[in-house]
Each structure stands twice: as structure tokens, then as C-alpha cells.
Amino acid sequence: MGKGTAFGKTIFIGDQFVLREVPAILAALPFVTEAVVERADGQGWALEDNRMEVPGYKEKKKHQQVDSINHILEVMEIDVQNTPIKITYGGDLLAGSGVGASAASCVSLARALNDEFNLNYSIEQINNVGWEGEFAYHGIPSGVDNTASTYGGLIKYWIKDKEKHFEQIKVEKPVLLVLGNSGITADTSKMDTFVEKEIERDPDLFASRLDTIISQGVEMKKAFETCDLKKVGEIMTANHKILIDMDLSHEILVGLCDRAISLGAFGAKVTGGGRGGYMSAIVPDKETQEKIATSFIADGYQTIKAEIGR
């Protein structure tokens, strides 16, 4: 029996534009997907997916998940016709759009296969397999989700001249977050097409917005490094306004962000691909975190309370 775990994630800035060389700042969430791989009878592979989910998420992603698993097995050269396996998913990461659920499933499976078949993969190889597995979910994945899922921590991630880079960002104190789910499962693989239409509609405006987001990312990194979390929140909110104007948020997410800010959050925005999934709010203390989470839960929104940066 082989086991592997991988983190979820939340993105503070740069979400949809990493492939266009806009750096992203993101953090691994302290919740994981666990994969277990066992030898089985018969041929091929079987799946038991016990992850908690946003209603309908797993069914909507089912075909992408099958393609992803098949590709991971191919990349890792696991011959399941001669060595059949059973894959079981679990863990405490809620499967839903915006928190890196697909990346966590890919990376955890890579680790479980590596464990079961004694492949001795390096962490870099595990990360690459996670990226390969993400193609089924994202079209062309940037690598941002699987990197956070593999390495953990608070990360700046960017692509330059088709080369992927990342660095850990150190913070002196824990960062408290509340994430609320819209209940909408977004299809991340269609986001590239949507963004292309935005470029065609007004290329100069699109370029100007990307320049603004790049500048916001530079400011945000400095704010994290100096523990100016109020500034981080202000940048998140300003960035969200740009994403709203680009139709990359959702009215439910906008409402949750506004509510979080009214209840004391430093700032809030959509996290991940957008047009559904989660929003994320950065908060000053546990009391505010609890107040916002309680408000979300009271209205039926699935909610995550997280502490990052330790």
C-alpha cells in the first residue's frame, strides 16, 4: 500500500494570468487530499473517491479526473494492465473550484504511486507529474497549483521565457483567512478561451490591466514580507475590482467579499480561476475570522477557516 498527501491552495493575486507572465502570489492551505494506492485483482485501475465536496463537483469533474489519472499512470510508466491497482482518495480538503483540489489529487496520487512502486522520485519529479496530471483539468496548466500543492508555504510563482520559477515568501506571523464557496463549480479548462475573447475585445485595455496586476503583485509581496496585512487586504480588494470588470468573478463571490469586508476583513477577492468556486478574505484576528465564518455558514455557504505562513 502506498500513500501520498498534497495541500490545497489559495491565490492572492495573479490567478488567471500566470501563463501570460504575470507573477502570482499564493499559499498552500493547511488541508490535504490523501491518495492511497493498493494492488488489486483484475485489470486496469479502480477509483474510490471519498473526498468531501461541493455538491456536484466530483460528478462534473469525473471525465477530467479519468483522463488525468490515465495520463499520470502513463507519465510514471505504471502498467496497470499487468499490475492492477485501486486508488482511494480522502483527506480534509474540500473538493471544489478555487482551492487547488485537482492539483492536490494529482500530486497526492503521484506520491502514492511513487511510494507503492518504489520509484524514488525527487520532489521536483513529483511536482512535474502533478503538472502533467493538471492538463486534463486546465487545458494548459501554469504549474502554480501543483507547485503550492507539492511544496507548501507562501509562494511567489512566475513564468519567464517559458521557464517556471518560484520562491518561498517568509512571513513573521501567521496569516488568518476565511474562504467561502459560491456553490458554483467552474470549468477552469474554458478560462483560456474566455480570456482570449477579452483580449480581442480591447487589447490595449487588457494589457493595461495586466500591467496594473503586475504592479499590485510587487506591492503585495513587500506587504507580506513586512507583515503589513492591512495593505495585503487593500491590494486584494483592488485586484478583485479588476477581475470583476473582466467578468472573472461571480455575483455570489462579490457578495461574500463585500460581507467579509463589512464584518472586519482587511480585504477579499475571488481565488483561483474565477467565475465560481471560492473567495478568500484576509482577516486581522481569530475573532473576526470566526464572525465572518459564522455569517457565511448561517447562510449555507461552505466555509474554510485557515492559518497560513507558519
Residues 35-51 pLDDT 10s: 999 999 988 999 999 99
Residue 170, pLDDT > 60, answer yes
Residue 189, pLDDT > 60, answer no
Q: What is the pLDDT of residue 62?
A: 93
State the average pLDDT over residues 121-128.
98
Q: What is the pLDDT of residue 201?
A: 85
Residue 148, pLDDT > 90, answer yes
b/e per residue 103-126 (b: at least 16 CB within 10 A):
bbbbbbbbbbbbbbbebebeeeeb
Residues facing 157 on adjacent strands: 24, 166
User: 97 pLDDT band (50/70/90 cuts)?
Assistant: confident
Which domains does the chain carry?
2-168 (3.30.230.10), 175-308 (3.30.70.890)
Lowest pLDDT segment from 116-120, 132-136, 245-249 = 245-249
Please choose, from the candidates 299, 12, 301, 52, the residue with its C-alpha nearest in 3D space to the C-alpha of residue 182.
301
Whether residue 21 contacts residue 160, with contact meaning beta carbons closer than 8 Å, is answered with yes
b/e per residue 241-274 (b: at least 16 CB within 10 A):
ebbbebebbbebbbebbebbbebebbbbbbbbbb
* Per-residue pLDDT tens over the stretch 264-277: 999 999 987 667 78
Full-model pTM: 0.91
Please choose, from the candidates 81, 84, 64, 210, the residue with its C-alpha nearest in 3D space to the C-alpha of residue 141.
64
State the average pLDDT over residues 145-157.
97
Q: What is the pLDDT of residue 192?
A: 66
Q: What is the pLDDT of residue 272?
A: 74
Mean pLDDT of the chain: 93
